[in-house]
Structures are given as structure tokens and as C-alpha cells.
């Protein structure tokens, strides 16, 4: 009987394991090997750290790397600041019969691709866009203002595209928060700030950390939104990786950059887990 159960378990697990090994593990191993290869004068590939040294020798690469990390952390923080009140309103303020409707409104924009959503923002914010049109009509502007292609617009776009991945985990943990704890705090004279800091946030920490990990990794690896809404002046490290793979056709250098980005994301997540005293197993449950 035990052998039969074990065989059934492996039967159902085998497609998942094959998918992980063939489409994730083996390609990543191949890229890691590729990142340590350079072409010598004879045209042969030899083992070397040159691709990684290039990153530190060229200021444009490591400055873009640092900029991407800082902005990704900022986007994650801003997403949390906006998502927490939304999640609290849905779970604790809105009537139960409207909670499903509100969740559907959150999901609705994600029924279309990220490309369509980003182009929607571009139509709103460009010089000939909807917002400029109404501001001129109302007399608030004399001429159109270019609202696109700057860091502020890029950050707004990244927050918008990541919002759902922060709201959902927080909603899931706040649903288990006993309303009587908040009511008791009010009765004892606590203000909203004290309730937020001492009751709501501590209870929601697993969801906050889980959402932050997802948002940070999605933002760090985002290529479309920074490229379209940030323009040429808003450098993002994924664009450097794209240029190495596609424009320069230098796969060895691109693989090295990709693994540096992986190390960065792993390091930031590890620091975040240590600071919040959470463990990965508890967060992903």
C-alpha cells in the first residue's frame, strides 16, 4: 500500500519536476556556465571572470544596477503604503456583500496584458493626451506639458502594475484579524495610528513581507514599464541585460548581468526577512 501511494505521488509530481528541471534549472545552469566564458584571441571559449569584472569596471553598469535596486525598493514601499489602506477597507470596512465586487475591480485591469495597461497610461499622460486636453480646457495650462519619460512617471507605472500583488497577500492575512481587537483598542482610547502600528501591521506582517518579495522581484526584473514610461533617461538594469543579449549578441556578458541581478534580489530578500524576523516558509504559506 505504501509503495502504491508513493508511486501515485511521483506520478503526479513528475510533470512539475520535469517542468522545473527542463525549463528552469538546466537553462539557469547553462547560463551560469556561459557567464564564466569569454572568447580568446583564437576564437575559443575559455573560463574567465572577465564578464563580471566588466560590470565593476564600467560605471554605467554598476550605477544603473544600484539605481535599479534603490528604485525597486522605493516602488515596493510606495506600493505597500497604497495597498494597506485598500486591503483594510476591503476586509474590515466594506460590507461583506461588496467585498467580492471590490476585489473584482482590483482584478479587472489585470485581465489585459501589461503592454496594454502601460500604453493606456501613455495615452493619458502624453502631450496630446487626455489629461493635458482637460487641463487646457479648464484653463489650468496654457500649453501641453510632457508628463511622460521621467522617473516619477516610471515609478507611478511600476506601482500601478505591481499593486495587485501587494493587495492580495495583505487581504488574505487581514481576513483572519479579529475585529474585536480593533474595537477593544478604540474602547480603551487608542488612536488610529496606535491601532495601525500595534495591531494591524504586526498581524499583517506575513502578508506584507510576501507581497513585498513579489513586488520587489517583479519591479527589479521589469523591462517594459521602465522602457516605455521612463524613456532614455530612466536607465534600468534589465535594459542593459537586453542590450547584451539582443543588441550586442553577447550572451556571455548578458548571462553575467542576469546572475548579478539574481544575487541582488536574493540578498535584498534575505535582508528583508532578517529585518522583519520572518522566515521564507512562513511567508509563502
Residue 41 in domain: no
Q: What pLDDT is attached to residue 282?
A: 63
| Cross-strand bridge partners of residue 38 | 46
Q: What pLDDT is attached to residue 1?
A: 57
Per residue in 273-284, pLDDT (tens digit) is 888 877 766 665
Residue 13 in domain: no
Residue 214 in domain: yes
Per residue in 80-136, pLDDT (tens digit) is 999 999 999 999 888 888 888 998 988 888 888 888 888 888 888 888 888 888 888
254/11: higher pLDDT = 254
For residues 77 and 272, the answer to whether their CB atoms sit within 8 Å is no
Per residue in 145-174, pLDDT (tens digit) is 888 888 889 999 999 999 999 999 999 999
Range of the domain at 83: 51-284
Residue 32: partners with Cβ closer than 8 Å, 6 or more residues away: 255, 259
Residue 135 in domain: yes
Please tell me the distance from the alpha carbon of residue 66 to that of residue 104, in angstroms, as a whole number.
37
Residue 56 in domain: yes
For residues 86 and 167, the answer to whether their CB atoms sit within 8 Å is yes
- In angstroms and rounded to an integer, the radius of gyration of the C-alpha atoms of the chain is 23
DSSP strand pairing (45-47 vs 37-39): antiparallel
CATH for 171? 1.10.3720.10
Q: How many CB atoms lie within 10 A of CB 78?
A: 18
The count of domains in the chain is 1
Q: What pLDDT is attached to residue 276?
A: 81
Please tell me the distance from the alpha carbon of residue 145 to that of residue 151, in angstroms, as a whole number.
15
Residue reference for cell 556556465: 33
Residue 20 in domain: no
- Percent of the chain residues topping a pLDDT of 90: 33
Q: What pLDDT is attached to residue 247?
A: 85
In the predicted structure, residue 233 carries a pLDDT above the cut 80 = no
pTM listed for this prediction: 0.88
Residue 42 in domain: no
Mean per-residue pLDDT over the chain, rounded? 87
Instruction: Give the three cell numbers for residue 248.
Output: 550586442
3-state secondary structure the chain: CHHHHHHHHHHHHHHHHHHHHHHHHHHHHHHHHHHCEEECCCCCEEECCHHHHHHHHCHHHHHHHHHHHHHHHHHHHHHHHHHHHHHHHHHHHCCHHHHHHHHHHHHHHHHCCHHHHHHHHHHHHCCCCHHHHHHHHCCCCCCCCCCCCCHHHHHHHHHHHHHHHHHHHHHHHHCCCCHHHHHHHHHCCCCHHHHHHHHHHHHHHHHHHHHHHHHHHHHHCCCHHHHHHHCCCCCCHHHHHHHHHHHCCCHHHHHHHHHHHHHHHHHHHHHHHHHHCCCHHHHHC
Count CA atoms within 13 Å of residue 135 on its CB side: 17
Q: How many CB atoms lie within 10 A of CB 95?
A: 8
Find the mean pLDDT for residues 206-221: 92
Count CA atoms within 13 Å of residue 239 on its CB side: 18
Residue 200 in domain: yes
Amino acid at each position: 500500500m505504501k509503495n502504491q501511494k508513493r508511486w501515485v505521488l511521483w506520478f503526479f509530481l513528475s510533470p512539475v519536476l520535469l517542468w522545473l528541471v527542463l525549463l528552469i534549472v538546466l537553462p539557469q545552469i547553462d547560463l551560469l556556465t556561459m557567464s564564466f566564458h569569454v572568447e580568446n584571441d583564437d576564437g575559443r571559449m575559455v573560463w574567465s571572470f572577465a564578464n563580471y569584472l566588466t560590470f565593476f569596471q564600467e560605471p554605467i553598469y554598476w550605477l544603473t544596477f544600484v539605481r535599479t535596486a534603490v528604485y525597486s525598493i522605493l516602488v515596493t514601499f510606495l506600493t505597500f503604503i497604497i495597498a494597506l489602506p485598500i486591503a483594510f477597507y476591503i476586509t474590515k470596512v466594506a460590507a461583506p456583500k461588496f467585498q467580492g465586487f471590490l476585489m473584482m475591480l482590483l482584478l479587472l485591469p489585470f485581465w489585459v496584458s501589461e503592454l496594454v495597461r502601460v500604453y493606456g497610461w501613455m495615452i493619458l499622460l502624453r502631450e496630446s493626451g487626455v489629461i493635458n486636453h482637460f487641463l487646457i480646457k479648464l484653463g489650468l495650462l496654457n500649453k501641453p506639458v510632457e508628463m511622460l519619460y521621467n522617473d516619477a512617471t516610471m515609478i507611478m507605472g511600476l506601482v500601478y502594475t505591481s499593486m495587485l500583488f501587494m493587495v492580495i497577500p495583505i487581504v488574505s492575512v487581514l481576513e483572519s484579524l479579529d475585529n474585536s481587537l480593533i474595537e477593544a483598542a478604540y474602547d480603551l482610547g487608542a488612536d488610529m495610528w496606535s491601532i495601525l502600528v500595534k495591531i494591524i501591521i504586526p498581524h499583517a506582517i506575513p502578508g506584507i513581507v510576501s507581497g513585498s518579495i513579489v513586488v520587489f522581484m517583479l519591479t527589479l526584473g521589469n523591462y517594459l514599464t521602465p522602457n516605455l514610461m521612463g524613456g532614455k533617461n530612466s536607465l534600468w538594469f534589465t535594459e542593459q541585460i537586453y542590450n547584451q543579449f539582443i543588441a550586442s549578441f553577447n550572451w556571455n556578458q548578458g548571462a553575467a548581468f542576469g546572475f548579478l541581478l539574481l544575487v541582488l534580489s536574493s540578498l535584498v530578500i534575505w535582508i528583508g526577512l532578517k529585518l522583519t524576523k520572518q522566515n521564507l516558509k512562513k511567508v509563502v504559506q
